[in-house]
Structure 1
Amino acid sequence: MIESFFGTLKAEYFHLAAPNSIDALEAGVHDYVHYYNHERIKLGLHELSQVEYRVRSTA
């Protein structure tokens, strides 16, 4: 699963943003991980983000 995440990270962030410093890379990856978990919808999770899906399934 982690290999799939890193592939998505490279395709959706790294290749598009091309950060010019380590600090920019670190901030960008932090922002992307937040986006990936809280905002990015997945069709397999009934068009919810991962966090929304977990909250609904535990409620």
Structure 2
Amino acid sequence: MSRKATCADNAAMENFFGLLKQEMYYGEELTSYEALKKKIEKYIDYYNNDRIKQKLAGMSPVKYRTHASQLAA
């Protein structure tokens, strides 16, 4: 962590929350906290296991980490 009020500390989470709101939340009408909680959990699973990212050579984050650890071994 760096000094107080340095925005770089929160950059990764701010980016994730922005994507979450764009891809999952906007335009949806949720009826309860439990419905929102389930939808967020489902999105996090999708984001880590299925969502393909160009920066990760066209792989999901979990597949990329697995691939990188196999190359390092």
Which letter maps to 1:58?
S
* Number of positions where the alignment pairs a residue of Structure 1 with one of Structure 2: 59
Give the % identical residues.
Answer: 37
TM-score relative to the length of structure 2: 0.77
Residue of structure 1 aligned with 2:51, choices 35, 40, 45 = 40
| Higher-Rg member (1/2) | 2
Q: Which residue of 2 aligns with 1:3?
A: 14
In structure 2, the gaps of 5 or more residues are: 1-11
Which letter maps to 2:48?
N
Are positions 1:58 and 2:69 aligned together? yes
User: Which is helix-richer, 1 or 2?
Assistant: 1
- Alignment RMSD (CA, Å): 0.9
List, as ranges, runs of 4+ consecutive aligned residues in structure 1 with deviation greater than 2 Å: none
